[in-house]
Amino acid sequence: MIVFEDRIEDLINLIPNINGFKTHFYWGKDGKDVNRYLVSNDSPYPFVFLTQGTERGDVSAKEVLRDCRFILACQEFDLDKMNDQRLLDSYKDFLNPLAAYMLELFDVSTISRINEGKYRLKRVPNYSESNENPQIDKWDVIVLELELVLNNNCLKPIVWE
């Protein structure tokens, strides 16, 4: 049996450091679960959060397919920054490269493929699923949605260019 979250974590661990920071992986019920990580001062960043989903499998093909919603998050300490400045800092330095690595990774790894090669990406500065906590506003995110197919092949290292 393919455990989706385990395979995703294996893939995320292949992403090289971005500006000296390792990417961390979490998963949970929905975007509100992300808030727990966002308000915690000891949450490492950048991080990728996968929301729960339903997998559809093909036993004979030894693969599973799932509609995925990934939240890629990076902390921004200057709450007064306008979106154009956040785009130059959080997004250019961390989140855009992270999204690019993930899309390339899902496309070229031996254990994954993006179904039909299609995805949706949304940049959300000052992210929060709800406005419960002002600490959350210091996070910028990219929401990446795609249909991902995973198999039980051996994961081979990725050579990043």
pLDDT digits (tens, 9 = 90+) for 17-37: 998 989 999 998 876 677 776
pLDDT in tens, 57-95: 978 879 999 999 999 988 776 667 767 777 767 888 899
Instruction: Break the chain into its structural domains and give their ranges.
Output: 4-151
Read off the pTM.
Answer: 0.87
Residue 100 in tokens: 């690019």
CB 4 within 8 A of CB 106: no
Residue 145 in tokens: 């949605």
Domain 4-151 has CATH 3.30.420: no
pLDDT at 43: 57
pLDDT at 129: 61
The Cα-based distances of 88 to 47, 83, 84, 105 in angstroms read 19, 9, 7, 24
Q: Which of 22, 13, 11, 51 is nearest to 35 (CA)?
A: 51
Residue 132 in tokens: 């419960």
pLDDT at 124: 87
CB 153 within 8 A of CB 110: yes
